[in-house]
């Protein structure tokens, strides 16, 4: 380690980590790397935050490099701690938490921040930006409690935020200062078509409105405009642009302008300090789009690794609006000028608009609305300032013909040269993709993404990648050639194939399974590693080598990381029933470790919020209570009412049964989180109808409900069966849980699982087939026999506690 060059990356975002990926490919052993990230997350795809907001993707879906990726490459990652000072003389950086690291090379990748209008009321609660996952979470939370939202800014970010809030059920108004939407990307005709389409979809649009003040006293209540008019709003999202985050550089004596000033090799004014991404000002220009940032990163990586590079000379930008079902694209120059002329094809019937701007007969830019199939070609022509040819003219005009663009798309892909760029974000060429399809057997978009990073960022090139698959594989694309999607891009194998192979070959370790089953990526990814770890443990509870590195960080540290980098600790409180002694112990720990908040959870437990990372082992040791597994793919809570013990309506002992079930099945690994509830009568006070396993007591015994979900995908539970005795209830519950463990896909909730395999199949396996039920219970008992609470081991073992301290600090 001592002979390596010390590299500190300040910022854990897309531009910085992409630069690091290039560096690792070029010189994997040259640098000893430390990364500081302000957010409490690994590197994620900020471009796809709008998909998280609208609910079509989760946070896990947009992770680009999970925690295991850093660990496997020996990278020290510090999250939730911002670098606040750079000493360019001593070559050290210092964080808000007081950590200090020295560097030989430092890369500033601090990105940008939302521009907040300097108006009265801008700091009121309920006024937020749209830049980080925390902003998404705040907006999703607001959508549950409030009705109306105003989004200030009618550019790319503002429209994506507005559409996401609308998808969450809010009444949304877009407020824009200029007279048309996306004026930096669209001309007037395209902007008009965009506005009409958005209004047709239910968005309210106000243009030419200058916001003078945010109204409200304790919380936002609306907006006031320069003309005196007002707009009521429960939530205000400021998406009026971004500002390069150059404060750290400026405070450290590094030259700044609009951003951190760099030369063509991304060098700043300080020796050994470089900058890349949205924080950068290069030749007087700042960029807020991903492709230019990746181009900068590729140049910087080559420069640092001693590879030949001509330097960064600037980028021709292109943009695409990421709203489902809407194709909006522009590249280069899109407005008419005195020295330009344009070719325009407008089809009101199909609601499409295509414009190519020419200067001296050469393409310098254009706009596409309603059909963006020519986006790759238009970007290529604009960058090269290609002379317009009859063939190019034919592609432009023919794309709007009677074939609906299908023929044009195929023709366009076929006509591309091998060195033409398909994915501008990752710089992936047609030749690379076609070569992989032919020589490596790539047969799906997921495989191509895993091997090349194409489609990984903005996703705009996905149609082109699909066309290349169809073109290269021909007729086999829809048959054997288009292999069914695997559990991730590392494999074409589905869940059932993987489980069968693990069973047949007696595979007991994640890396062994990936090697034997022919993973295309030897190290796997954040999707397949945890899934393999679960399937192996489910099949071989006695012999499996549990791979801790394949678990998510919350599971490894046994606490939920919060947006400020602290952790949430939830001790288990069986059935929601506790004692004065237990409550006193929790209170003493909270007081001793200055826990800022203790909250009752929806599952009748106490949550210690704001625990410092370094305090986790000691907190658990002093609590001396089992973990409530608030982070686990396992049994979370068993919610109970007071039942026949106290309630005058109760007919069954719901508390006793809830505690018995929780103590029996706690810590058992499952495909996804699992929640239970037990009610003592049909009044259903513990809400069994929205739980994975819900139990309702009555005079004749118990009713068992399954497949409920009270989360984003609301689903009422189905009645599985009725039983008369406690013994039958516990037996059928165990069989149900084991059947779900053995047939569920990793991360598949029971609500989706029941719909996929059918309630009749579940009933036949765990209720009707008595012998099969007995066998399922035998297997679940075998798995339960192997369990031990890791936090109990920490309490009992000083060595393990020290090990955990090491893990926490790393």
CA distances from 312 to 18, 19, 263, 283, 690 (A): 16, 14, 8, 10, 56
525 is in an annotated binding site: no
Which residues neighbour 728 within 8 Å (Cβ) at sequence distance 6 or greater? 701, 702
Q: How many CB atoms lie within 10 A of CB 38?
A: 22
Do residues 412 and 377 lie in contact, with contact meaning Cβ atoms separated by under 8 Å?
yes
For 420-441, letters b (16+ CB in 10 Å) and e give: bbbbbbbbbbbebbbebbeeee
Does the annotation flag 425 for ligand binding?
Answer: no
> What's the rounded Cα separation, in Å, for the pair 143 and 147?
7
Instruction: Choose among 209, 182, 15, 50: nearest CA to 117.
Output: 209
Return d(Cα 611, Cα 595) in angstroms, integer: 6
Is 403 assigned to a binding site? Answer: no
Give the residue carrying structure tokens 């105003």. Answer: 150
Q: How far is Cα 716 from Cα 705, in angstroms, rounded to an integer? A: 9
Residue bearing tokens 């990526």:
521
Q: What is the DSSP string of 656-699?
A: HHHHHHHHHHTT---SS-EEEEEESSTT-TT-GGGSSEEEEEET
Tell me, rounded to whole angstroms, the distance of Cα 284 from its chain centroid.
Answer: 33
Q: What are phi and psi of 516, to 5 degrees?
A: -70, -35
DSSP 584: H
641 labeled part of a ligand binding site: yes
Structure tokens at 30: 């040259």
Query: How crowded is the C-beta side of 304, counted as CA atoms within 13 Å?
Result: 34
**Cα separation, 42 vs 61, whole angstroms:** 12
Answer whether 422's CB lies under 8 Å from 454's CB.
yes
The set of residues, in sequence order, having a beta carbon less than 8 Å from that of 389 and lying 6+ positions away, is none
The whole-angstrom separation of Cα 60 and Cα 53 is 13
- H helices of 390-459, in order, are 390-398, 406-415, 430-435, 445-452
For 268-332, the DSSP string reads: -SSTTEEE-STTEEETTB---SHHHHHHHHHHHHHHHHT-----------EEE--BTTB-EEEEE
Question: H helices of 103-256, where?
Answer: 133-145, 156-167, 188-200, 247-251
| 409, 467 contact by CB (below 8 A) | yes
| 520's tokens | 């295309």
Lay out the sheet containing 635-640: strands in order across. 635-640, 674-679, 693-698, 701-706, 718-723
What residue numbers does the annotated binding site cover? 641, 647, 681, 685
From the annotation, which residues make up the binding site for [4Fe-4S] cluster?
A: 641, 647, 681, 685
Residues of the binding site for siroheme: 685
């Amino acid at each position: 380690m001592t002979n390596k060059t010390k590299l500190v990356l300040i910022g854990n975002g897309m531009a910085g980590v992409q630069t690091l990926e290039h560096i690792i490919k070029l010189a994997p052993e040259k640098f000893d790397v430390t990364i500081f990230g302000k957010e409490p997350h690994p590197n994620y795809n900020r471009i796809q935050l709008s998909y998280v907001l609208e609910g079509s993707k989760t946070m896990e879906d947009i992770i680009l490099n999970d925690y295991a990726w850093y660990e496997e490459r020996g990278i020290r990652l510090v999250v939730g701690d911002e670098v606040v000072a750079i000493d360019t003389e001593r070559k050290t950086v210092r964080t808000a938490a007081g950590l200090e690291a020295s560097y030989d090379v430092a890369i500033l990748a601090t990105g940008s921040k939302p521009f907040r209008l300097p108006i009265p009321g801008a700091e009121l609660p309920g006024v937020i930006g749209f830049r980080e996952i925390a902003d998404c979470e705040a907006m999703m939370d607001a959508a549950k409690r409030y009705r109306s939202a105003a989004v200030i800014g009618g550019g790319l970010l503002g429209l994506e935020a507005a559409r996401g809030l609308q998808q969450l059920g809010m009444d949304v108004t877009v407020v824009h200062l200029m007279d048309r939407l996306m004026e930096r990307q669209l001309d007037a005709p395209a902007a008009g078509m965009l506005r009409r389409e958005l209004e047709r979809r239910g968005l309210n649009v106000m243009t030419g409105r200058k916001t003078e003040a945010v109204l409200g006293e304790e919380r936002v209540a609306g907006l006031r405009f320069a003309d005196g008019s007002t707009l009521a709003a429960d939530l205000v999202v400021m998406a009026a642009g971004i500002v390069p985050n150059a404060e750290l550089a400026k405070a450290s004596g590094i030259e700044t302008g609009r951003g951190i000033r760099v030369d063509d090799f991304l060098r700043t004014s300080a020796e050994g300090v470089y900058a890349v991404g949205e924080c950068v000002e290069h030749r007087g220009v700042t960029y807020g789009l991903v492709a230019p940032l990746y181009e900068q990163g590729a140049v910087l990586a080559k420069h640092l690794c001693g590879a030949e590079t001509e330097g960064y000379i600037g980028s021709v930008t292109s943009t695409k609006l990421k709203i489902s079902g809407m194709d909006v694209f522009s590249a280069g120059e899109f407005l008419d000028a005195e020295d330009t002329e344009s070719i325009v094809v407008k089809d009101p019937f199909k609601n499409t608009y295509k414009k190519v701007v020419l200067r001296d007969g050469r393409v310098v830019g254009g706009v596409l609305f309603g059909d963006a199939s020519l986006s790759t070609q238009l970007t290529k022509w604009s960058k090269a300032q290609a002379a317009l040819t009859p063939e190019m003219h034919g592609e432009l005009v023919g794309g709007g013909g009677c074939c609906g663009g299908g023929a044009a798309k195929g023709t366009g892909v076929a006509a591309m040269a091998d060195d033409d760029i398909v994915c501008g974000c990752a710089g992936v060429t047609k030749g690379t993709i076609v070569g992989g399809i032919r020589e490596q057997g790539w047969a799906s978009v997921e495989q191509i993404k895993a091997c090349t990073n194409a489609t990984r960022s903005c996703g705009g090139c996905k149609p082109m990648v699909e066309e290349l698959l169809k073109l290269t594989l021909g007729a086999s694309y829809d048959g054997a050639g288009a292999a069914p999607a695997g559990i991730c891009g590392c494999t074409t194998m589905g869940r059932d194939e993987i489980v069968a192979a693990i069973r047949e070959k007696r595979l007991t370790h994640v890396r062994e399974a990936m090697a034997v089953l022919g993973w295309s990526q030897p190290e796997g990814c954040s999707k397949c590693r945890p899934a393999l770890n679960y399937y192996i443990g489910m099949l071989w509870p006695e012999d499996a080598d549990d791979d801790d590195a394949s678990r998510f960080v919350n599971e490894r540290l046994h606490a939920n990381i919060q947006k400020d980098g602290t952790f949430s600790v939830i001790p288990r409180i069986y059935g929601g029933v506790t004692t004065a002694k237990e409550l006193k112990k929790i209170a003493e720990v909270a007081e001793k470790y200055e826990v800022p908040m203790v909250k009752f959870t929806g599952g009748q437990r106490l949550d210690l919020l704001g625990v410092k990372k370094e305090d986790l082992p000691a907190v658990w040791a002093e609590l001396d209570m089992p973990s409530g597994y608030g982070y686990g793919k396992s049994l979370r809570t068993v919610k109970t009412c007071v039942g026949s013990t106290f309630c005058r309506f109760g007919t069954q002992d719901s508390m006793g049964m809830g505690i018995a079930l929780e103590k029996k099945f706690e810590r058992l690994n499952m495909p996804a989180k699992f929640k239970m509830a037990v009610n003592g009568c049909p009044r259903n006070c513990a809400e069994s109808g929205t739980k994975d396993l819900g139990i309702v007591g009555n005079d004749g015994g118990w009713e068992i409900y399954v497949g409920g979900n009270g989360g984003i995908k609301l689903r009422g539970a189905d009645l599985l069966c009725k039983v008369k005795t406690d013994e039958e209830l516990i037996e059928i519950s165990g069989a149900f849980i084991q059947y779900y463990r053995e047939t569920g896909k990793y991360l598949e909730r029971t609500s989706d699982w029941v719909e996929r395999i059918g309630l009749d199949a579940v009933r036949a396996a765990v209720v009707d087939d008595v012998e099969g039920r007995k066998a399922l219970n035998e297997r679940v008992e075998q798995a339960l026999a192997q369990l031990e609470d890791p936090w109990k081991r920490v309490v009992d073992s000083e060595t393990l506690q020290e090990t955990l301290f090491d893990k926490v600090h790393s």
